[in-house]
Amino acid sequence: MELQQERQLPLPRDTVWDALNDPEVLKACIPGCESFDRVDDNAYEAAVKAKVGPVNARFKGKVTLTDLNPPASYSMSFQGQGGQAGFVKGSADVTLTDTEGGCTVGSTAKAQLGGKLAQLGSRLIDGAARKTANEFFDNFVEYMGGSGEPGETAGETAAATVDSAATAPARSQAWVWAAVGAGVVGVILAFALL
Amino acid sequence: MYAFGYHRPTTIDEAVTLLGQSEDASAIAGGQTLLQSLKQRLAQPGELVDLGAIKELSGIAVDGRTVVIGALTKHNEVALSSEVRKAVPALADLAGAIGDHQVRNVGTIGGSVANSDPAADYPAAVLGLGATVETNQRRIAADDFFIDLFETALEPGELIKAIHFPVPKRAAYVKFAQPASRYALAGVMVAETGDGVRLAVTGAGACAFRVPAMEQALAGDFSADAIKGVQVDADELNDDIHGTPAYRAHLVNVLARRAVEAAR
Amino acid sequence: MGEPTTKIGGSTRRSEDKRFLTGQGRYTDDINMAGQTYACFVRSPHAHARINSIDTSMARDADGVLAVFTGEDLANDGIGGLPCGWQIHDVSGEPMAEPPHPLLAQGKARYVGDHVAVVIAETKQQARDAAELVDVDYDMLDAVISPAKALESGQPLVHDEVPDNRCYTWELGDSGAADEAFERAHHVTSLDLVNNRLIPNALEPRAAVASYSPGEDHYTLYTTSQNPHLARLLLSAFVLNLPEHKVRVVSPDVGGGFGSKIYPYAEEATLTWASKKIGRPIKWTAERVESFLSDAHGRDHVTRAEMALDTDGRFIGMRVDTKANLGAYLSTFASAVPTILYATLLAGQYTTPAIHARVTAVFTHTAPVDAYRGAGRPEATYVVERLVSQAARDMGLSQAEIRRRNFIPTDAFPYQTPVALNYDVGDYDATLTRAEELADVAGFEGRREEAQKRGKYRGIGYSTYIEACGLAPSNIAGALGARAGLYEAGEVRLHPTGKVTVFTGSHSHGQGHETTFAQIVSDRLGIPFDDVDVVHGDTDRSAFGMGTYGSRSLAVGGSAIVKAMDKIIDKSRRIAAHMLEAAEADIEYDDGTFRVAGTDKSLSMAEVAFSAYVPHNYPLEQLEPGLDESAFYDPTNFTYPAGSHICEVEVDPDTGRVEIVNFTAVDDFGNVINPMIVEGQVHGGLAQGIGQALLEGAVYDAESGQLITGTYMDYTMPRADDLPSFRVDTCNTPCTHNPLGVKGCGEAGAIGSPPAVIDAIIDALRPLGVTDLEMPATPLRVWQAIQDAQGRQVA
């Protein structure tokens, strides 16, 4: 499966970059995201509860970054296990470009889905991925727009921020988080399946 | 399937209470989608609240201007209702072409509409006929109801009670069945109503959607020729082994013209 | 349909249907044993993965779990893999590559659904719950799905020891003669053809119940097999190393097989072994998704085919190059299907003098592929008939004319083809003439014009197929690589009261043997139909058997029963002579009565039987008491059912939907025992053939190797409303070499119909510029073909 997403955001690229710098933003904005942790220099783990219609599955995913070219582009590979539901594995190329009135985040993801999700849900995969990506960006814009509450996860975010503050990366490592942020978009693109 | 608690309330209030008591409770109507998910272990509700014993949710009432169908009314009850057939034959036709007899004897209109499967038939009727969805909390216009893939305006704890279909001047539903599942690869409901022409599509996108360009063309001239050149944008349409977006876009036009010709 | 008598030729109602229709059938899943446990198999979600480790500790500790086994446990017990029953030799002279086929994966998983571990628990639910707790550490590896791609260098290997994933390359026919024909050809018709992969989908999924009795050191396996004796033989001799006489295999009522239940599978072998390990009976029943993933699939060929014609449209040469997808492992008959059962049929009904076929069999990361209704012969028919129909269009000849110019004439039989087979008899022109009549070909143009007025494109397609059935002469099969005999066994037991029990090694799983075989016995022994019982499917009851597949049951199994009846009649004649005090030569036998020639002195078969069991007035010096005879029948040749199928379609150019408006099948099945059952078999075969042509197709994701068509949401089974009311008839020439003169009818519909359907669509769409179409001709594919053709025309 190949997924192409492009989303124009009414926000300056730097702002988006900085926001994606914050894992708590991502956790708050990724639909169904339950956790989001750094496990190694270029490796991160996320837990996402994907829900499409009557079907739900909890995925644990790993994201590894490659070909980093801050602040414009990078690639990543990701894989996630959803227990009975199956698994997802793939890679994505992400770009941030300045556009009029803001910036555009583009992502081309290649994903392989396996297990029951692939056997049962092929008709819904593209639509679910598109929907999840849209929800992420909607949440993101809303979050950045200062309207404050991107849904229920906001409360949890506040609590979790304290933790992450202790281990927050130095400013110079901002690009790492940005990459991970978009990377998780890739993951959820692929997660959002059935 | 995984083990779950099972409840069979007899009133809506009781059902809402039960659903509110657990985070992972799920309502079940006819279960034609949910049961499959449970069997495949792709859904694991802790509690299942069966709406089947709530009598006030079933039944069909027709007056001169509206057909009201209770949420738990089964597809075959709609398909075989002489009153529905007389008032809105397109609706009876649509219900009679859902799945097979086993599905039609168990599946419900409320379950189908609340589930908002992208290829389900009923959403095309709700949207195409300009129906109103009555819940235990409010009335929702069809245009506000279908949001996205499996997503509707229903809030947690909100249950559909009935669907109110205004009787159109004429209408028709034409579907092209996906060969394996017989869900709609694409389906079009067209209706000429007192407020103009409505044309809704299912099967082709993330959820049922209207095609304003076709509606406008038909408002001036309710004929197949009027929309011959009006194509929907393939970009956002569904893609699977049975239909490319371009094929679905083409089918929407073909089916829309056939629906216009069949409208009565 | 014939008269409703119970004799040969009568459309007797199927006696087995009463129990099926009233819910009294007894299938494997209906069998429950005291202390029974349940198995759930852990299957690979990956098409190709290295298994680093399997942690079963959590599963073992789960509620109700009795045991969790992996491939390592089987290896530790010296359990072998599943054997392949047919050895093909590569063109190099070397035997085919035969990598191990372990019951549970050893080190690697090679297709989605491959068996990795088994969990056995007190309840089915507990087994499933615990199966989720088996923690398998996989390294996902790249997979290869397409056979053509799998042969390229640098592709992932399915088996490390099989370079280029090539199992074998095999050739048949005279390549020099074929090349020479192409050099002097007036015209050459060429096609690239795909024979789509099918998933069998029997109504009843596979199931097994295995138990072990320590007191008797005896195993019993109930399983959904088309040939329980072969299952016992392979299980005991090759897989589990058990003494054959200590294993009983029972196939009770079985709900459809279509080939997919011929083969011993990993599940029942694992259960049999594990039942002794845990000391309890174990049951396993496949879920439908498991069936999709792990039942042996069918077909899956990619072929380049060419036909050389002279100026008169006569076929002078044919060349075929086929790549056959075997899947990840060699299933029981996998190697024979694209070779012996395929290339030998490439002469079709025609006098093509020079034919050469080259077949490369390839491993890929997909479910094993094996025989499925028709097995090799549908693939051959599709190649031959698509070529012939295209050649007719190329040469400007009618479909009937090109065929008639090339048919083997009736006076040429027995006819030796250039691809090994020797056809005994047939009348191809007769079936074609009758089919054209029944299909009202004369009125077709009128119907086409009428359809055009409705905006529909109407087309007509022909297929004049032949098949080799009645598998098989053991000596020929052996010379061609078979590792087993292909005879059949039968036993006819008259009881003292004149009732009869027939024991057969054939297995009925929808074919109606209990009726057909009883008709034969009733007819020959003059015993009422209701007094004949047919027993099958139990290694403890029938002496031996090679099972049911390849349209062999009547031609081979039925012949064995006839041979046994010959012995019964022989012995009875001698008993009757003694009782009637006449010379044996003076005893005439007819319809169950022994009569002294020229007198009214007679005895019925029942009276003779009684005397045989109560031998008070009996020639005990010459004859043993009792009346129970058995026979093995090994055919001297294949049988060659053949026929003409004509399909008429209407295509909606706006949607691409194809409707089959008429379908005519006129077949030559040799003598027919029960016309109603034969017609039913034709209907079923046609449904599957039309299913292949229009609807069915297994789709694996080319990159991930995931089965996309894993449920009925995406895999399209033919339904009643996809099919017209068939026009079916027979024009029969009796088989010359078996005692019943029968040929077999089970596979014909699936073999003959696909090219007729596809050519009808191509014929319909010719005005739009469509010249080729791949199976299945789904609405999307047909619509796309129209778009592409229109685009080409504009360009």
Residue B212's CATH number: 3.30.390.50
Q: Distance (Å, rounded) from C-alpha C547 to C-alpha C226?
A: 6
Confidence of residue A175 (pLDDT cuts 50, 70, 90): very low
The residue of B178, B188, B231 whose CB has the most chain C CBs within 10 angstroms, and thus the best one to mutate to test that interface, is B178
Q: Which of C132, C289, C703 sits opposite A119 (nearest CB)?
A: C289
CB contact under 8 A, C714 and B40: no
Buried b (16+ CB within 10 A) or exposed e, B23-33: eebbbbbbbbb
Nearest CA to C352 out of C394, C299, C397, C305 is that of C305
The span from the CA of C374 to the CA of C382, in Å, is 12
Which of A3, A81, A110, A122 would you mutate first to test chain C, the one with the most C CBs within 10 A?
Answer: A122
Confidence category of residue C4, pLDDT binned at 50, 70, 90: low
Chains that touch C (3 or more CB pairs under 8 A): A, B
Tokens for C661?
């408006």
Mean pLDDT of A48-70: 82
Pairing of strands C218-223, C247-250: parallel
Q: Is A158 exposed, middle or buried (0-12, 13-18, 19+ CB in 10 A)?
A: exposed
Coil vs helix vs strand at A115: coil
The CA-atom distances, in angstroms, between B130 and each of B162, B165, B260, C173 are 14, 7, 17, 69
Say whether C716 and B247 touch across the interface (CB within 8 A): no
> Which chain A positions have a beta carbon within 8 Å of B208's beta carbon?
none
| Alpha-carbon gap, residue C461 to A172, rounded angstroms | 72
- Beta-carbon separation of B176 and C655 below 8 A: yes
CATH number of A2-191: 3.30.530.20
pLDDT tens for C698-739 read 999 999 999 999 999 999 999 999 999 999 999 999 999 999
Per-residue pLDDT, averaged over C125-141, amounts to 96
Nearest to C738 by CA among C555, C613, C570, C577: C555
Contact A118 C701 (CB under 8 A): yes
Q: Which residue of A has its CA nearest to B238?
A: A127
Q: Which residue, among C223, C226, C253, has the nearest Cα to C17 in the 3D structure?
A: C253
Phi (first) and psi of residue C585, to 5 degrees: -65, -20
The answer to which of A42-46, B75-79, C238-242 has the lowest mean pLDDT is A42-46
Q: Is residue B213 part of a domain?
A: yes
User: How far is the alpha carbon of C716 from chain B, nearest alpha carbon, in Å?
Assistant: 4
By the 10 Å C-beta count (0-12 exposed, 13-18 middle, 19+ buried), C317 is classed as buried
| Interface contact flag, B247 C657, Cβ < 8 Å | no
Partner-chain contact B179 C714, CB within 8 Å: no
User: For C49-85, what is each residue's pLDDT tens digit?
Assistant: 999 999 999 999 999 999 999 999 999 999 989 999 9
Give the H/E segment covering residue A117: helix A116-120
List, for residues C264-308, the tens digit of each pLDDT value: 999 999 999 999 999 999 999 999 999 999 999 999 999 999 999
Q: Which residues pair with C140 in a beta bridge?
A: C49
**In whole angstroms, what is the distance from residue C567 CA to residue A99 CA?**
94
C704:A120 CB<8 A: no
pLDDT at A16: 81
Interface probe, candidates C124, C713, C716, C721, chain B, greatest B C-beta count within 10 A: C713
Q: CATH classification of C487-633, choosing from 3.40.50.1370, 3.30.1120.10, 3.30.365.10, 1.10.510.10?
A: 3.30.365.10
| pLDDT computed for residue A172 by the predictor | 30
Q: Which amino acid is at B213?
A: A
**How far is it, in rounded angstroms, from Cα B50 to Cα B53?**
7
pLDDT in tens, chain B (264 residues): 899 999 999 999 999 999 999 988 999 999 999 999 999 998 889 999 999 999 999 999 999 899 999 999 999 999 999 999 999 999 999 999 999 999 999 999 999 999 999 999 999 999 999 999 999 999 999 999 999 999 999 999 999 999 999 999 999 999 999 999 999 999 999 999 988 999 999 999 999 999 999 999 999 999 999 999 999 999 889 999 999 999 999 999 999 999 999 999
Which residue of chain A has the CA closest to B42?
Answer: A55
Task: Look at residues C699, C688, C702 and name the one whose alpha carbon lies nearest to residue C292.
Answer: C699
Domain at C301-471+637-794: CATH code = 3.30.365.10
Instruction: Name which of A53, A123, A134 is nearest B150 (Cβ-Cβ).
Output: A53
Set of chain A residues whose Cβ sits within 8 Å of the Cβ of B42: 54-57, 84-85, 116, 120, 194
Q: Which residue range(s) make up the domain with B258?
A: 170-262
Where exactly does CATH 3.90.1170.50 map onto chain C? 31-141+205-255+261-294
Any CB–CB contact under 8 A between A151 and chain B?
no
Per-domain residue ranges of chain A: 2-191
The arithmetic mean of pLDDT across residues C621-627, rounded, is: 96
Residue bearing the bigger pLDDT, A51 or C433? C433
Res. A25 pLDDT band, cuts 50 70 90: confident
Nearest residue on chain A to C292, alpha-carbon basis: A119
Q: What is the pLDDT of residue A120?
A: 84
- Residue C482 tokens read as 């078979």
Q: What is the mean pLDDT of residues A145-157?
A: 39
Q: CB distance B251–C655 less than 8 Å?
A: yes
CB C325 within 8 A of CB C305: no
**Residues whose CB falls within 8 Å of the CB of residue C367, separated by 6 or more in sequence, listed in order:** C111, C112, C113, C293, C294, C295, C296, C297, C327, C328, C707
> Strand B47-50 vs strand B25-28: parallel, antiparallel, or unpaired?
parallel
Q: How many domains does chain B have?
A: 2
- DSSP H stretches of helix in C15-151: 17-21, 57-61, 71-76, 124-131, 147-150
Provide the CATH number for the domain formed by C31-141+205-255+261-294 in this structure: 3.90.1170.50
| ipTM of the complex as predicted | 0.97
Q: What local confidence, expressed as pLDDT, does residue A21 receive?
A: 62
Q: Which residues of C touch A123 (CB under 8 A)?
A: 713-714
Judge whether residue A190 has pLDDT over 50. Answer: no
Give pTM, 2 decimals: 0.94
CA distance A13 to chain C (A): 35
Q: How many helices (H) and strands (E) does chain A have?
A: 6, 7
Q: Is the pLDDT of residue A74 over 80?
A: no
Kindly determine whether residue C714 and residue B180, on different chains, have CB atoms separated by under 8 Å: yes
Tokens of residue C244, six digits = 């054959």
C511-560 residue pLDDT tens: 999 999 999 999 999 999 999 999 999 999 999 999 999 999 999 999 99
Note whether B253 and B230 are within 8 A (CB): yes
Q: Say whether pLDDT at A3 is over 80.
A: no
Do A52 and B150 lie within an 8 Å CB cutoff? yes
A177 has a pLDDT exceeding 80: no
> Which ranges in C483-621 belong to alpha helices (H)?
513-525, 559-580, 605-613
Instruction: With CB atoms and an 8 Å threshold, state whether C712 touches B181.
Output: yes
Cα–chain-centroid distance for residue A146? Answer: 20
Q: What pLDDT score does A147 carry?
A: 39
- Tell me which residue of C214, C209, C206, C245 sits closest to C229, measured CA to CA: C245
**CB-closest option in C128, C129, C715 to B180:** C715
Q: For residue range C88-117, what is the model confidence (pLDDT) as tens digits?
A: 999 999 999 999 999 999 999 999 999 999
For residue C569, what pLDDT band results from cuts at 50, 70 and 90?
Answer: very high
Q: Residue C422, Cα to own-chain centre: how many angstroms?
A: 21
Q: Which of C732, C750, C737, C723 is nearest to C675 (CA)?
A: C732
Over residues C195-211, the pLDDT tens digits come to 999 999 999 999 999 99
Specify the domain boundaries for CATH 3.30.365.10 within chain C.
Answer: 301-471+637-794, 487-633
